[in-house]
Amino acid sequence: MEKNVICEILGNVGIVKMNRSKKLNAFTRELTTELTRALEECERNEKVSLVILRGSTERAFSAGGDLRSDQLILEAEGLEQAVGELRGEYELGEYISKYSKPLIAYMNGITMGGGAGISMVAKFRIVTETTRWAMPEMKIGFFPDVGMAYFFLT
Give the start-to-end residue ranges of the domains of the chain. 5-153
Q: Is the pLDDT of residue 136 over 80?
A: no
Of 34, 85, 89, 145, the catalytic one is 145
Residue 129 is a catalytic residue = no
pTM: 0.85
- CATH code 3.90.226.10 for 5-153: yes
Q: Which amino acid is at 64?
A: G
Residue 137 is a catalytic residue = yes
- Between CA 99 and CA 82 the distance in angstroms is 26
Beta-carbon contacts of 47 under 8 Å, excluding residues fewer than 6 positions away, are: 9, 12
Q: Which residues pair with 105 in a beta bridge?
A: 53, 125
Of 14, 64, 65, 115, the catalytic one is 65
Of 55, 114, 115, 117, the catalytic one is 114
- Between CA 4 and CA 31 the distance in angstroms is 6
Give residue 90's pLDDT.
Answer: 82
Q: Is the pLDDT of residue 143 over 60?
A: no
Residue 75 is a catalytic residue = no
